[in-house]
Structure 1
């Protein structure tokens, strides 16, 4: 098939004729904001970030919390100045819908792993529900052997893949809610809301052991990460469609959420232009006067509706911790 290139300029025709490695690369752009990707099963988080970064031709990108290839759902991807807000998203609450397959335990605690033990017993719904209070609130949890926990500077999953027999210490985690949604005998669908550091795979493993029938996660979908929820999400195919629009930069911009969206879980503080100028120079500001806010801790700081910084209030003084260089 012969390509129709009548609309190409002479320079563009020369570029098309060059080997791909020799073609000029488009200049990277300063893009700022969040893409809340509905990651499909089978895609790694690293690949997802690369796809989004390439579509936007963005200089800088990162994600707020790895989602395993087996899992689907929310993967918030920060572009440009939004990368400065990633820790606030990762520290937020998370929600999952996950299915536990009973009767087998795996070395990864999910369906990708090697089966290490089996049992022919299957739990009754009433028995499962009776156990759920033991797995809510503040609990101690042993992370999966195949996890990103570091042991003497090495990732646990690297050591496990090398065949090393590793022992991970229990860690405190907080599970706000664990609900049984449906039960079919061999499999049970749950919903969970939990804090940072909680492993859903460990919940499945420990439930299976407590019930005496063993279990592992067979499906997992993340439905919330901090302030981001499913109604914020966009699929890869939609982003690719936008990237093919007549004006792709403008079309893709419609999928971007503002940088400040990530800070929805911390208080907001408006300051004067004079105080904003001091903060932008890295200087602290004393909050005084009759209308001064009475608060402590992290705040998002804006002036005239524009985000300028994330700061920390200590003893009535506002200290800038991260300053944003956003277009105004």
Structure 2
């Protein structure tokens, strides 16, 4: 049944975009183009605010000639579905987790390696340097060109019953993860039972104890209201998987050099603001969690690091991945 729903959604979106393209094809007359930007987060999320900053910067730089129309809250589908819509040219842009991008552009897998980055400063030195640029541009081979990386903080476990003080505490627990093999391997290696599930289904799954917990960053834990159900948050910070702003090459390749410059500059400028929004949101989120009587625990990370080493070692068997990881470690 889900397949029919997905096909129906894609058909409706395609029809809507075709209507928009009626205006796009007349751009010589109207002198403006509108890019549909779809993502799965609520409008209160700091990543959405970063996208709004990009929207405003692009409108200003282009004098309204190149505009973004945002569709938040998963209105046009899940991360994977929207990426597929970008590939066929029905939607222009999206924001997805780098983990979701790894299903389309394999080199993004490296960003999901547990405990890969020493801290957020190290992460952004990598993402805003040579390695990050190569990853963003490399997606073009798969019709998905990255424009920039957004801060998505560090992911930690939140659970219904008790902290995850050590990996042993995950034994017998079903933990929701993204539909990403590395995330699945990580939870399983730590001793839990990884349960891939759509983000929009998670609140109900937690309420009904279909799963025992999940893992995510502070802003997502708060804006999803999962903290209403899960009262134990263990800050093991097992991964720092950034978000990626992506434009479909079916749109990008039609832009003039000037339009490409406008869009890239708007994206780059939005990164600076998004980092500020993120930091503020984390601070506010921690206050909300404490007021909601969510208990927070900072564990010794070394047992988690040790248990997840097989993931890094497995990826290092690929010469291309080994080169990227070594470059990251040396930065």
Q: Same fold (TM over 0.5)?
A: no
Q: TM-score, normalised by structure 2?
A: 0.21
Larger radius of gyration: 1
- Where relative contact order (Cα < 8 A, 6+ residues apart) is larger, the structure is 2
Query: Which structure dedicates a bigger proportion of its chain to helix?
Result: 2
More strand by share: 1
